[in-house]
Amino acid sequence: MAPYYARFLARWPDVRALAAAPLDEVLKAWAGLGYYARARNLHACARAVVERHGGEFPPSEPALRALPGVGAYTAAAVAAIAFDLPASPVDGNIERVVARLYRVAQPMPAAKPELRRLAAALTPQRRAGDFAQAMMDLGATLCSPKKPACALCPWNESCAARAHADMELYPRRAPKRRGTLRRGAAFVACRADGFVLLRTRPAKGLLGGMTEVPSSQWSQDFDERSALEHAPHFRSKQKKPIAWRRTGGVVRHVFTHFPLELSVYMAEIPPGTAAPAGTRWVALKALSGEALPSLMRKVLVHALGK
């Protein structure tokens, strides 16, 4: 993570530089990190700060919340830490501290509003930023998920969970729901002169704006027998049809809400063949410069070994 951060700041050292950058360049720099909506939101936020606030972040929690991609936690953290306003950011570490301190019985994530309310009641009017960072550090170090160091905690005499000796039960968790498996097909078309066929996903939605090989829809009822109906169609000077062959195995990937399995099909395309509408040929040696998410890197490694 740290190398990504260093490269990102070296390329776009301030909000004005990021706002002026093309979105596709930002997505390329983000490729491999996942959560690509964050890159799009970061870019949109930089543009909004420049256009609405002259390149300076607004010093109020409501104005920060109005920026693209800025939610309650980020707005409160910036308000408290950057502007010393009495705001109460609540991350996972603070949730754990507060849930144990008050022994909040309601399971997560339903307990989040109550935890935010309790955390806000603890927040001082002065030095709120220092208090927020201290609470974050407390949760990250002493009030850890397993075997918390209660003897060293400044809250130990006030902690309801410690009084009942059941600290590790909090915050309570609702049973996790595993998303239903989705399946689909990916098509790796390689031109004999060293190019592979790629396209850009729609700007909105999962992996929005990222680069991919042509693929079918990902669905729970995907029918492998009809996979080739979704393959790209080429207008070749040769009358011989394009021969797609399925590679062995599948590519597996887990998104936040569902697991995915992709069958991978390959085809060799004659040099000079035009790319179908909405796609483009990219040199194999230039793949590192594309905004390929981890899933598509897996597909290309599976098909090409690179």
Q: What is the CATH number of the domain that holds 146?
A: 1.10.1670.10
Number of residues that make up the chain: 306
Nearest CA among 171, 162, 174, 164 for reference residue 105:
171
Distance CA 117, CA 120 (A): 5
Q: Domain ends where: 158, 176, 194? A: 176
Number of domains in the chain: 2
Q: Would you state the pLDDT for residue 176?
A: 74
* pLDDT per residue as tens, the chain (306 positions): 678 888 899 999 999 999 999 998 998 888 878 778 889 999 999 999 999 999 999 999 999 999 999 999 999 999 999 999 999 999 999 999 999 999 999 999 999 999 999 999 999 999 999 999 999 999 999 999 999 999 999 999 999 999 999 999 999 998 777 789 999 999 999 998 999 999 999 988 889 889 999 999 999 999 999 999 999 998 766 567 788 999 999 999 999 889 999 999 999 999 888 999 999 999 999 998 898 999 999 999 999 985
- Indicate which CATH number applies to the domain containing 229: 3.90.79.10
Inside any domain, residue 209: yes
- 3-state DSSP call for residue 306? coil
Question: Looking at 112, 141, 176, which one is the last position of a domain?
Answer: 176
Q: Are residues 261 and 191 in the same domain?
A: yes
- Tell me which residue range forms the domain holding 210: 182-304
- DSSP-based three-state secondary structure for 182: strand
173 alpha carbon, distance to own chain's centre: 22
The pLDDT, as a whole number, for residue 288 is 86
- Distance (Å, whole) CA 148 – CA 105: 19
- Answer yes or no: do 167 and 258 share one domain: no
The H or E element spanning position 52 is helix 36-53
- In this prediction the pTM is 0.64
263 is a domain residue: yes
Task: Look at residues 143, 176, 209 and tell me which one is the last residue of a structural domain.
Answer: 176
Contact 89, 76 (CB under 8 A): yes
Is the Cβ–Cβ distance between 45 and 55 less than 8 Å? no
Give the model's pLDDT for residue 36. Answer: 82
Position 66 in a domain: no
**CB of 262 closer than 8 Å to CB of 215:** yes
Residues 299 and 196 in one domain: yes
Query: What are residue 251's DSSP bridge partners?
Result: 262
- Closest by CA to 12, choosing from 32, 42, 34, 35, is 42
pLDDT of residue 236: 61
CA 165 to each of CA 39, 103, 169: distance values in angstroms, whole numbers, following the listed order: 42, 11, 9
My answer on whether 138 and 243 are in the same domain is no
Tokens of 117: 């309310």
Cβ-contact 113, 119 below 8 angstroms: no
Residue 155 resides in a domain: yes
Same domain (yes/no): 207, 256: yes
Q: Are residues 171 and 229 in the same domain?
A: no
Please tell me whether residues 171 and 186 are part of one structural domain: no
**Same domain assignment for residues 196 and 290:** yes
Q: Is 232 within a domain?
A: yes
